[in-house]
Each structure stands twice: as C-alpha cells, then as structure tokens.
Amino acid sequence: MKTDYSSPRTHDPKTHQPRKVFGGVVPYGQVWRTGANEATTFVTDTNLTVGGKDVPAGSYTLFTVPDQDKWVLVISKKTGEWGTPYPGEGDDLARVDMIVAQVPSPVENFTISYDQTGGNCTMNLDWEKTRASVEFAEKK
C-alpha cells in the first residue's frame, strides 16, 4: 500500500498564527480532500477489505467527510484530481465509517500513518487534536 498526500499545518503558512482546523479550515459535514494541494492518492497491489467494504487492487483518490464525533472515508475510483473538486458519489467505490478519537498531544502537520499487525492494519489520520482511523485487511 502506498499513500501520497500533501501535509497542511495547523499554523497559517502566511501569518504563522494557529488556526482552528476541524470545524474551521476544514468544515464539518463537507467532503475534504484529506490533505492539501493535490488530492490524496491511495494505491494497493492486493485486494483489501476496508471497514468491511471490498477494495480491489488499484489506484484510488481518498476523501473524507469529517464531523465532530464521526468521520466517513470516501474511496473514489476517479484518480488524477487536483485540489478540492470532489467528483461526486457516482465515482465512489466505497464510503466507510471511521472511528474518531483525540490524540495525546496536538499534531502540527496533518499525517497519514498505518499501524500494521500481520495481514491487517489501521489507517490513522492525525491533525490538530483529532485522530480518525479505519481498519484495513488483506482480502483472503
């Protein structure tokens, strides 16, 4: 698995002042490009199950819909997107609920990481004081 994304910062790049990220820079209830600049790309060379949904090997664009207590991961079949234009639900391969928690200390740079255990892993999206996560498993 490979994820390519741009990492925005909590502090404004021009003024260096702190910003309210979720519910501010990233509005609640709206599709977000899950990073900055070019849309986030996810590539897998094996078939996966993501949050219970089948994801065949291939290239995808990741979007999210953040909310205060629940996030949704959107796996789009349309690739090559730049910036914020969301191609629409017709191009969605899957929408998967994510678990939301607080991180122990604030995260300045938006980060996508994976915690791996055997053939399973957890994708973590960390920024500001928030972690949104979802389980990935190799499809047998």
Give φ, ψ of 66 to 5 degrees. Answer: -80, 145
Q: How far apart are CA 39 and CA 83, in angstroms?
A: 5
For the chain, 140 residues long, the average pLDDT of each consecutive 10-residue run is: 94 93 95 92 96 97 95 95 81 97 96 90 97 94
How far apart CA 14 and CA 4 sit, in angstroms, is 24
Global pTM?
0.93
**How much is the pLDDT for 35?**
94
